């Protein structure tokens, strides 16, 4: 019979083609190939194994694999298994190492609680302001720390990572009565995972003592600093203004009480004012009347013609005197039917003219130095003004009187425009800070 693949002639009893090795079988007188290994290609089926110069009828797919191929497959399989096992083991070890590292990190980064105790005289919780404490330093990881903590006598703890810090009082607290404080120095704190050292003492408590400042001694710079820290702390504007008003009101009250006790309050029938504390013991006052309305002149003690300030009454509708560079109105207060004008003498301007040689000296340099110092509120001397004149800087505006006297000036009387006493025109009263004398001149 003929092989259906290669066409070679085979005997009827042949099970395979003698030429190509194709399995054969007979079905109804026909020869059909036996379908073996359908996924093999014909080319593979036709490949033969050479034997003695001829080709064997055994197909390639029936050959046995050499031992070294099986060994190679075994080695590769073992390597894959070992790799998988090693990978799983490495992942497990990494997980364990991470757990150990995290535990060590957590042990080093234990937060410590630091308590702050305050000694603040007359401070009352609920009505007084918070106490600002700034914590500055570096934590264990090298991160910079700068935090503002708002504390009270009860709410007074801070949580800190290990590191080195300074507890810095950031400003003065304020009581409802307007009392302020001198803030203490900063305190160094060192925190570790095992505890806290404050200064050189082991312990987790920072003690801060504040000393009260008398209301009369509260300065504008201190008030500005208090407003600054309150603004930084995001306190409400109304809250900030409440404490600022408390300070200024307490200061004004204290100044009035001190002035009254020292006899430095000047009183007339129509107005009162307080002599600035800088001027006390260095000035005298003189009160005169014009048409029954008083005028108070403040002058350098011992020099009645060297006026520092004049406070005078003018009826409504009346004209003021003409101002110039030396004498000008610092401010006015309205009364009932009259106004009170405060005139000040700018001795710094006169000193600049004198330094330039524009005017003849009327006093000695030492006396003029006192006048410049008092009229400027202690901010200038004659030497300062002289240097300004030489460098053409000019003379600064002097606002000492308006800043200090107008705050205390009060109109207290009433003018009856229908009556005036002609005899009052010649009445005058001379007053000093220590002695009051009244003289009535006869016509």
pLDDT for 34: 54
Cα-flanking dihedrals φ and ψ of residue 263, to 5°? 75, 20
Pick out the chain residues at pLDDT < 50.
37-57, 60-62, 418-443
Report which of 373, 405, 409 is spatially closest to residue 300, judged by C-alpha positions. Answer: 373
Report which of 345, 344, 350, 376 is spatially closest to residue 365, judged by C-alpha positions. Answer: 350
Per-residue pLDDT of 356-368, as tens digits, reads: 888 888 889 999 9
Q: Domain map of the chain by residue range? A: 1-63, 112-248, 265-346+398-440
Please write down the HEC assignment for all residues of 163-181: EEEEEEECCCCCCCCCCEE
Cα-flanking dihedrals φ and ψ of residue 321, to 5°? -65, 165
Q: What is the DSSP pairing of strand 205-209 with strand 112-119? A: parallel
Report which of 254, 206, 248 is spatially closest to residue 226, judged by C-alpha positions. Answer: 248
Angstrom distances, CA of residue 309 to CA of 289, 305, 331, 432: 16, 11, 12, 14
pLDDT for 431: 38
Report which of 157, 133, 161 is spatially closest to residue 147, judged by C-alpha positions. Answer: 133
With 0-12 / 13-18 / 19 or more C-beta atoms within 10 angstroms meaning exposed / middle / buried, residue 277 is middle
With 0-12 / 13-18 / 19 or more C-beta atoms within 10 angstroms meaning exposed / middle / buried, residue 340 is buried
Place of tokens 């020869």: 31
Cα-flanking dihedrals φ and ψ of residue 246, to 5°? -60, -40
Angstrom distances, CA of residue 365 to CA of 355, 380, 383, 401: 10, 14, 9, 22
Please name the CATH architecture into which domain 112-248 falls.
Sandwich (2.60)
């Amino acid at each position: 019979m003929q092989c259906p693949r290669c066409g070679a002639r085979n005997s009827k009893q042949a099970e395979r083609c003698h030429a190509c090795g194709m399995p054969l079988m007979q079905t109804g007188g026909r020869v059909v190939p036996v379908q073996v290994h359908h996924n093999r290609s014909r080319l593979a089926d036709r490949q033969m194994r050479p034997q003695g110069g001829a080709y064997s009828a055994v197909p390639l797919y029936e050959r046995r694999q050499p031992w070294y191929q099986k060994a190679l497959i075994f080695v590769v399989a073992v390597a894959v298994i070992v790799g998988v096992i090693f990978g799983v083991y490495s992942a497990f070890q990494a997980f364990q190492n991470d757990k150990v590292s995290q535990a060590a990190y957590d042990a080093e980064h234990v937060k410590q609680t630091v308590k702050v105790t305050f000694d603040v005289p007359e401070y009352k919780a609920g009505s007084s302001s918070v106490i600002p404490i700034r914590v500055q330093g570096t934590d264990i990881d090298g991160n910079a720390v700068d935090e503002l903590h708002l504390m009270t006598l009860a709410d007074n703890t801070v949580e800190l990572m290990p590191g080195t810090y300074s507890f810095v009082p950031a400003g003065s607290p304020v009581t409802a009565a307007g009392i302020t404080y001198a803030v203490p120095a900063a305190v160094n704190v060192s925190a570790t995972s095992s505890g806290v050292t404050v200064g050189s003492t082991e312990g987790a408590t920072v003690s801060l003592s504040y000393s009260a400042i008398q209301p009369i001694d509260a300065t504008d710079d201190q008030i500005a600093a208090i407003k600054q820290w309150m603004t930084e702390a995001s306190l409400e504007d109304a809250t900030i203004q409440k404490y600022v008003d408390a300070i200024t009101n307490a200061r004004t009250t204290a100044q009035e009480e001190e002035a009254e006790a020292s006899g430095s309050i000047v009183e007339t029938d129509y107005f009162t004012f307080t002599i600035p504390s800088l001027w006390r013991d260095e000035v005298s006052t003189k009160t005169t009347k014009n048409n029954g309305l008083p005028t108070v002149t403040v002058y350098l003690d011992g020099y009645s013609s060297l006026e520092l300030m004049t406070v005078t009454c003018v009826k409504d509708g009346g004209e003021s005197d003409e101002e110039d560079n030396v004498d000008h109105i610092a401010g006015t207060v309205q009364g009932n039917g009259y106004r009170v004008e405060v005139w000040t003498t700018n001795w710094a301007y006169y000193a600049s003219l004198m330094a330039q040689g524009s005017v003849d000296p009327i006093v000695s340099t030492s006396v003029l130095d006192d006048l410049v110092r008092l009229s400027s509120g202690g901010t200038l001397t004659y030497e300062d003004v002289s240097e300004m004149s030489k460098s053409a800087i000019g003379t600064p505006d002097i606002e000492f009187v308006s800043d200090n006297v107008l705050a205390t000036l009060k109109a207290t009387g009433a003018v009856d425009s229908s009556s005036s006493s002609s005899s009052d025109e010649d009445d005058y009263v001379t007053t000093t800070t220590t002695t009051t004398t009244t003289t009535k001149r006869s016509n």
